[in-house]
Amino acid sequence: MIARDMSQPSFLHAEGGDNHAIALIAAVAVSLAVHAVLGWFARDAKLELPGEAPGLTPAQRLALRRESAMRVSPAPDPAGRPETPEGVFESPPEPRAAAGDPEELLAVADTAAPSVLFDPPPLSEAADPTAAGVAPPEAAEAPRPDAPWQPREEVIEISSKFANDDVAAIPRAEIPAIERVSGAPDVVPESTVAAAIEAASLEGGSFRAVSWMPAPPAPGEVEQPTLVAESSGEGSAADAPPDLGEIAEPETEPEAFFAEVPEEVAPAKPIEDVLSASVSVYRPRGGDHHVYFEVDIRRKGADVLPAIPRDVVFAQDASRSIAPQRLAACREALKRAFRSGLLREGDRFEVTAFNTTNVWAFGRSWRAATPAAVDEAARFVDSIRPDGNTDLYSAARSVLSLPRSPDRAVIAILVSDGVATQGDIRRDSEIIGEFSRVNDGNVSVFGVGVSPRSDEYLLSMLSLCNRGGPAVLPRDRFSIPDALVGAFAEIGTPVLSDIRFSFDTASGAVVGPKTTENLYLERPLRLFGRAEAGTREVVFQARGVNAGRAYDMVFDLSLGDPEPGRGDPSIAKKWARTRIYDLVAEHIRTGDAAALAEMAEIGREHGVPIPFKEKFR
């Protein structure tokens, strides 16, 4: 075995290795020296690539490029270019250079381009722009005629009033809110009377008379409406307009307008034979120098004053202030009222759910109380869910938009907590006063609360000021159905509506309520009065309507023996309570402070608490 000397470098693996290393170092040194000398002498030399043909002018270089073009195909050129003697198709002109020597730019320019593209057209061709390759200018549009003057009025609706405008510089003209009609256009295109008449004739209609209010015409221009004769139903019209005398010919003689119709000028039918009035009297002892009386008015018999058909609208509060559990009880109450037989044959009804808007079961129209209509109303009631705020005035006002018939009694059942949270009119007194003024006793209102904490002031006074009774408040949500059905059952058969009383001035009697309910078979109509202690009789007149016919009656009531201490003392308290409610209504309508003073005096005198006292602080 041969031992190796590990002190030798690894790449020295043969004898004579020192000589190889010296030769390598010498070769590297000689190479570096040669390259340094060559670089010194070649530092200013200019290298030319073989393809650039040094020494040629730009025109010669261009010719060389064209001659060296490659022939692609021996077939004739589809573009119809001529073939050169060398068998090469002429190439298209080189594109212009983007930058470089000016001579280069001129060399690559296509000298075969016609000068007409660069030179202006001669003067002889200026009259014909198309001869110079220039498109003629477009003809100017004819100016449009000015639109005729159309009057418009901008209306700014104030949905929520926050500032007092009593000292406004310019007084505002307040108009009632107009509900939007679904699908109605916001802007109506311009139309003329002639166009409207022509459109009607083309649809097969007829125009026998025309009435319109035209806009002021443009200066020197007066629109003459073309009156179209009756069409045959196929869109044809007469060529010549008919005579104006024929169109405006009245259907009756002028004297007929002044003729009296006996039924219209005859006095109301006396009804002493159909109504009875009984009186109860109380004469107190001591320092009270008055006599108090109670008058009960009833129908005399079943064969007089037939029952008046009713139009009943049920208005259900569906705002978020009604808890879901209470709203469920209200839905059950409404369905029980529909199906309990209280809607008689001949009655019509409608149901609305309201918050800030109203949703109607039958599209704001009356529906006969048939089983099919009752089922449809029940399905509508089941769909009611609490949502949104409460605009109580707008909801009540929308009830007045229902169509009314003079031979029917209109009754509204309002089911709510009486809390208004939205709308321009939201204070209780404003809602009561404004609605009562607009209603004017045409619709009888009966309020039903949804809890003992409902706003009794608003619900009761809204009812009492609009031919209704005090509001009914349930003990809890489970008694809501009984409260609503019970209130509805007491107004089932009206026999006299729109009743108004007038008492004689000789007795000086103060009688209330000033606004009474309708007369119903289910309960008598009661009046409470007070006169001076020595008064022996009271005379009053009553007027009412049954089935569209007016009735009139005059009663002479004897108050009996003037000896004090006779009668029922509760009559005095009933009068005091009725009078206080009348004063509350008067204060709501007028804001008169004297009504509050009289109310306080009557309350102290008879020991009757003033209702809703906290509302007048």
Name the helix (H) or strand (E) containing 292: strand 290-299
Which regions of 302-454 does DSSP assign to beta strands (E)?
A: 310-317, 348-354, 358-360, 367-368, 409-415, 443-448
Contacts of 603 (CB under 8 A, 6+ apart): 576, 580, 609, 610
Quick: pLDDT tens for 436-477: 999 988 999 999 999 999 999 999 999 999 999 889 999 999
Q: Give 440: exposed, middle or buried? Use CB within 10 Å, 0-12, 13-18, 19+.
A: exposed
Whether 413 and 313 have beta carbons less than 8 Å apart is answered as yes
| pTM for the structure as a whole | 0.56
Q: What is the pLDDT of residue 34?
A: 81
Quickly list DSSP for 476-534.
SGGGHHHHHHHHHHTTS-EEEEEEEEEE-TTTT-EEE-SSPPPEETTB-EEEEEEEETT
3-state SS assignment for residue 415: strand
pLDDT at 521: 84
Predicted pLDDT of residue 534: 83
What pLDDT, on the 0 to 100 scale, is given for residue 265?
Answer: 45
97 and 62 Cβ atoms separated by less than 8 Å: no
Six token digits for residue 363: 């599209």
Q: Which domains does the chain have, with CATH numbers?
A: 275-304+495-616 (2.60.40.1230), 310-492 (3.40.50.410)
Q: Residue ranges of the chain with pLDDT lower than 50?
A: 1-15, 49, 70-74, 85-91, 94, 96-100, 105-106, 109-111, 113, 115-118, 124-126, 132, 203-266
Q: One-letter amino acid identity for 447?
A: G
